[in-house]
Every structure is written in structure tokens, then in C-alpha cells.
């Protein structure tokens, strides 16, 4: 594998990890525009715009986009998050030029009024669908509560009101302000050569508008909060808890990833043996989420409503024990093996490598190979876990419950 980097004259960053030993190629446009960049008046516009990208461009109709990708047998899609929007595709190497032409084109859709009005109905239906899913309601409310006053507290989908009131002119302005070449990273992984990547980037992206939008980077300052949202038709109680964790630029983030595996992985973790294996809950997990200027431990619990209080107390005892006594050498070694295996297995596919390559460059201007990632994980010691716990102890600062309970 070989790493390559180039910045076009308009500011577009191009990074590639080429590998002739694989049989496919994946690429993605990582746009530094997500829910945190929206004002309340246009809440949900990033996600809405992602949908509009597939409605056609000056050169390709919506039918063309779908038909050509299907004819190529390409795996293509897009996703919007709190901090970015990603347009990605994977295809056979011989079809890269055609797939690249289409995918690069849809970042600048025509945004026709008829398409906008039609897709608005789809977005509103999606908001309604997620409102019927207790886990989605719990997540949105947990993020909004924990990050109240911080950009990360903004909803990815927006609200029924904000999307209903959104105009196509507002979307066009948001697109002009954020879809600038300096806000975008093109990442390519797999079986292609660097010269071909450079040629495609110049041919299809060099004319993109230059510039870069600003994003305030501010530390979150959450306050303890507990709230239950009754849903009488639910049979189980969904709980999401958040507490502070290292940011995406903090070296302690690697220890936090291991800690989440040791304490809250879906198999062979402390939460698993204490709650899942005895059959006390449907699911119980701890995850670590990193953002540009902050981070969060996320605890997810799903189980019988009448056992919720007892199960939360069990989790609290586990966290208190870990905070006080740390973890064992055996737990650390097992977690290293598990994480390294996942890194290698995921990295065997170009699509599996794409996310790490694109996100690392978008937010940190950093390249790490699979070997680099494995080395970082293997070098972590019990002292690193201790340092992490001293600065970011496991906790249950924000608690949101969705289900039959009205409180504890």
C-alpha cells in the first residue's frame, strides 16, 4: 500500500491509499458540513441537501444517476452526521472513471423547486418514522440535552417545523456557504493508481468554488440531567446516558476506544457478563464517540421497565469499580486482540479503509496505515487507561429514558 496527497489550486484535498492486491476501489467526498453547522432556522438542511444530491445535476438526471450506478454494479450512498456529510461509492477498478464522474457531479445538484417540494415530503415522513422508534427518540433527546448550548446539540434530521419552513433559497445559500473546495476531502482507497486519481480530480473537481467556511471549536460544558419520555405502547424501556470523554484530537481517545470495548462491548465485556448473560436486559453497551472539540461515553440500555432502576444501579457499580480500580492486564490484552483483529479484517476491503482515511484527513490532516493503527493499540498500557479514567471517569451524567416509565 502507498499513501498519496495533493491539494488542488481551489483547495480540494485529495488523499489516496492505493493497493494493487485488492480487487475493488472505493472513494468518498468528505464534506465538513453537518448538523452542528446549521442555524435553528435551517435545522436539518445538511441531511435534506444530501437527499437532494441524488435528484439530478445539470448533466445527469435523477434517473441517470440511479441507472448508471446500477449498470456499473457500484455500491454508492451518502450519510449525514453531526460534523460531516459523506458521498461514497465502491466499484470495480475499470468502472472508476464513470462512477467518479457521477459521484463528483451530485455534490452540486440543480436543486429544482419541484424536486425540493417532493423530497421535503420524504424528509418529513422520515422524521415521523424516527419519532416512532424509541431508540432514535432517546438518542436525539440525549444529544440535545447533554450538549445543550453547544453545536453538537442540534438534530441531524431537524424538526417537523424547521423542515416544513425551509425554503429552497435557504438550501442554496447553505450549499454555497459550505460546499467549497477547501471544505472537502476526496479520499480514495484500493486498486487504482495515483496518476488516475489526480487526473480524475483535476477533470471533475478543479472548477469547484474555492474557499473554506469557519467552524467555531468550543468545549462542551454539560450539566447533570435526567428525563423520561413516556411511550405507553412500548414494551421495554430504552435508556441512553452520556458523559464526557476525550475529543477527537486528544491522544487519550485511543485508550477510550479500548475502555469502551472492555466495559461495554456487545460480547465478553463487563456489561455483557453482568447484565446480558444473566438475561436481565435485551441489550447493554458502552460506546465511545469522538467529535472535533469534545467526546462522549454513550451507555445504551434496553430492558424490562420494572428492572430499569436496578439495572442502572448495576451499571453505576461497574463504572465506579472501573474508575476506582481500573482494569486488569488480561482485560487489556483481550481488548487489544479484539480491536486489532477488527482493524485488520475491516481494512482488507477498500470500503472498510475509506472511513478512516477520509475522516482522519478531514478532521486531523493525519494519515495512519493499518499497521500504524495496530501499533497504537498494541502500545497502550494500563497506565494509559489509568490516565484516561483520572481525566474522564465513566459516568451517567445525562440520562434519557423512552418507554413506559414516567420516571424512577
**DSSP for 107-153, written as a single string:** TS----HHHHHHHHHHHHHHHHHHHT-HHHHHHHHHHHHHTTTSGGG
Helix (H) or strand (E) holding 391, with range, is: helix 382-391
Residues 122 and 245 in one domain: no
Per the domain annotation, does 343 fall within a domain? Answer: yes
What does the pLDDT read at residue 408?
86
For the record, the C-alpha cell of 5 comes out as 496527497
Under the banding of pLDDT at 50, 70 and 90, the label for residue 119 is: very high
The band of 217, judged by pLDDT with boundaries at 50, 70 and 90, is: confident
Report the residue count for the chain.
Answer: 408
Three-class secondary structure of residue 42 per DSSP? helix
Say what percent of the chain tops pLDDT 90: 97
pLDDT the model gives residue 245:
98
Domain membership of residue 210 (yes or no) is: no
User: How far apart are alpha carbons 176 and 211 in whole angstroms?
Assistant: 10
Residue 232's pLDDT band (cuts 50, 70, 90): confident
Same domain for 172 and 41: yes
Grid cell digits, residue 20: 494493487
Q: Could you tell me the three cell numbers for 149?
A: 448550548
| Predicted confidence band of residue 216 (pLDDT cuts 50, 70, 90) | confident
Same-domain check for residues 229 and 185: no
Catalytic (active-site) positions? 50
Residues 6+ apart with CB under 8 A from 45: 38, 158, 166, 170, 171, 174
Predicted pLDDT at 353:
97
- What percent of the residues of the chain are helix, what percent strand, and what percent coil, each to the nearest 5? 50, 20, 30
- Residues 153, 266, single domain; the answer is no
The answer to whether residue 217 is domain-embedded is no
Q: Which of 148, 170, 205 is the last residue of a domain?
A: 205
Give the C-alpha distances (Å, rounded to integers) separating 200 from 8, 182, 212. Answer: 12, 18, 22
- Of the three residues 205, 236, 258, the one that is the final residue of a domain is 205
Mean pLDDT for the stretch of residues 202-213: 97
> What is the number of helices (H) and of strands (E) in the chain?
15, 11
Domain co-membership, 234 together with 88? no
- Give this prediction's pTM: 0.95
The total of other beta-carbon atoms located within 10 Å of residue 109's CB is: 24
Q: CA 331 to CA 270: how far, in whole Å?
A: 10
Are residues 52 and 184 located together in one domain of the fold? yes
Residue 378 in this model has a pLDDT that exceeds 90:
yes
Distances 337 to 256, 266, 356, 380 between C-alpha atoms, Å? 16, 15, 19, 12
CATH of the domain at 167: 3.30.830.10
Provide CB contacts within 8 A for 372, sequence distance 6+: none
Q: Are residues 236 and 172 in the same domain?
A: no
Sequence-distant (6+) residues with CB within 8 A of 340 are 374, 377, 378
Same domain, 162 and 41: yes
Within 10 angstroms of residue 247's Cβ, the number of other Cβ atoms is 18
Domain annotation covers residue 218: no
Cell, residue 337: 486482540
Q: Which three cell numbers stand for residue 258?
A: 479500548
How much is the average pLDDT of 333-358?
96
- Domain assignment present for residue 408? The answer is no
Sign of CA dihedral 279, 283, 289, 295: negative
Q: CA torsion angle for 387, 389, 390, 395 (degrees, to 10)?
A: 160
Domain hosting residue 53, numbered range: 2-205
239 inside domain: yes
Residues 300 and 155 in one domain: no
- The phi and psi torsions of 407 (rounded to 5 degrees) equal 165, 180
What does each C-alpha distance from 313 to 123, 172, 217, 266, 334 come to in angstroms? 39, 49, 35, 19, 26
Are 53 and 147 members of one domain? yes
Q: Is 224 helix (H, G, I), strand (E, B) or coil?
A: coil
Q: How far is CA 354 from CA 88, 94, 185, 351, in A?
A: 9, 19, 12, 5
Q: Is 216 contained in some domain? A: no
Q: What is the mean pLDDT of the segment spanning 376-394?
A: 98
Q: Tell me the pLDDT tens digit for each residue of 144-170.
A: 999 999 999 999 999 999 999 999 999
pLDDT in tens, 242-251: 999 999 999 9
Digit-coded pLDDT (tens) for 30-62: 999 999 999 999 999 999 999 999 999 999 999
Statement to judge: residues 190 and 320 lie in one domain: no
Distances 294 to 146, 249, 353, 368 between C-alpha atoms, Å: 12, 9, 24, 21
Q: Considering 137, 171, 205, which residue would you say is the last residue of a domain?
A: 205
Helix (H) or strand (E) holding 15: strand 13-18
Q: Which of 184, 232, 165 is nearest to 15 (CA)?
A: 184
Question: Same structural domain for residues 255 and 187?
Answer: no
Which parts of 73-112 fold into alpha helices (H)?
A: 96-105
- The pLDDT value recorded for residue 219 is 87
Q: What is the DSSP letter of 272?
A: I
Q: How many domains does the chain have?
A: 2
| pLDDT at residue 21 in the model | 95
Is 211 within the bounds of a domain?
A: no
Q: Which whole number is the average pLDDT over 286-297?
A: 97
Amino acid at each position: 500500500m502507498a499513501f498519496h496527497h495533493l491539494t488542488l489550486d481551489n483547495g480540494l484535498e485529495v488523499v489516496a491509499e492505493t493497493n494493487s492486491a485488492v480487487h475493488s476501489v472505493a472513494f468518498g467526498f468528505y464534506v465538513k458540513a453537518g448538523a452542528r453547522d446549521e442555524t435553528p432556522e435551517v435545522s436539518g438542511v445538511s441531511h435534506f441537501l444530501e437527499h437532494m444530491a441524488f435528484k439530478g445535476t445539470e448533466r445527469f438526471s435523477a434517473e441517470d444517476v440511479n441507472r448508471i450506478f446500477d449498470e456499473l454494479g457500484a455500491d454508492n450512498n451518502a450519510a449525514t452526521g453531526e460534523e460531516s456529510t459523506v458521498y461514497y461509492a465502491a466499484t470495480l477498478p475499470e468502472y472508476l472513471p464513470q462512477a467518479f464522474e457521477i459521484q463528483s457531479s451530485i455534490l452540486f445538484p440543480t436543486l429544482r423547486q419541484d424536486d425540493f417540494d417532493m423530497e421535503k415530503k420524504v424528509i418529513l415522513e422520515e422524521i415521523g418514522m424516527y419519532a416512532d422508534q424509541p431508540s432514535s427518540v432517546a438518542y436525539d433527546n440525549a444529544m440535545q440535552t447533554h450538549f445543550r448550548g453547544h453545536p453538537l446539540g442540534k438534530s441531524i434530521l431537524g424538526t417537523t417545523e424547521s423542515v416544513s419552513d425551509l425554503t429552497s433559497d435557504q438550501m442554496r445559500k447553505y450549499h454555497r456557504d459550505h460546499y467549497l473546495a477547501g471544505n472537502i476531502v476526496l479520499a480514495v482507497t484500493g486498486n487504482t493508481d495515483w496518476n488516475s486519481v489526480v487526473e480524475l480530480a483535476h477533470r471533475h473537481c478543479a472548477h469547484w468554488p474555492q474557499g473554506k467556511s469557519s467552524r467555531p471549536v468550543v468545549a462542551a460544558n454539560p450539566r447533570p440531567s435526567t428525563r423520561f419520555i413516556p411511550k405507553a405502547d412500548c414494551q421495554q424501556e430504552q435508556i441512553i446516558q452520556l458523559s464526557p470523554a476525550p475529543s477527537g484530537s486528544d491522544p487519550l481517545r485511543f485508550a477510550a476506544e479500548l475502555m469502551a470495548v472492555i466495559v461495554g462491548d456487545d460480547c465478553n465485556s463487563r456489561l455483557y457478563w453482568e447484565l446480558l448473560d444473566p438475561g436481565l436486559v435485551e441489550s447493554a453497551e458502552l460506546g465511545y464517540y469522538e467529535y472535533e472539540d469534545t467526546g462522549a461515553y454513550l451507555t445504551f440500555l434496553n430492558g424490562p421497565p420494572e428492572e430499569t432502576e436496578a439495572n442502572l444501579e448495576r451499571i453505576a457499580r461497574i463504572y465506579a469499580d472501573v474508575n476506582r480500580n481500573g482494569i486488569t492486564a488480561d482485560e487489556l490484552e483481550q481488548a487489544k486482540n479484539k480491536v486489532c483483529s477488527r482493524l485488520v479484517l475491516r481494512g482488507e476491503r477498500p470500503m472498510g479503509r475509506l472511513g478512516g482515511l477520509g475522516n482522519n484527513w478531514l478532521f486531523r490532516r493525519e494519515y495512519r496505515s493499518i499497521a500504524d493503527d495496530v501499533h497504537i493499540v498494541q502500545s497502550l498500557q494500563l497506565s494509559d487507561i489509568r490516565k484516561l479514567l483520572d481525566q474522564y471517569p465513566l459516568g451517567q451524567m445525562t440520562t434519557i429514558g423512552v418507554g413506559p416509565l414516567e420516571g424512577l
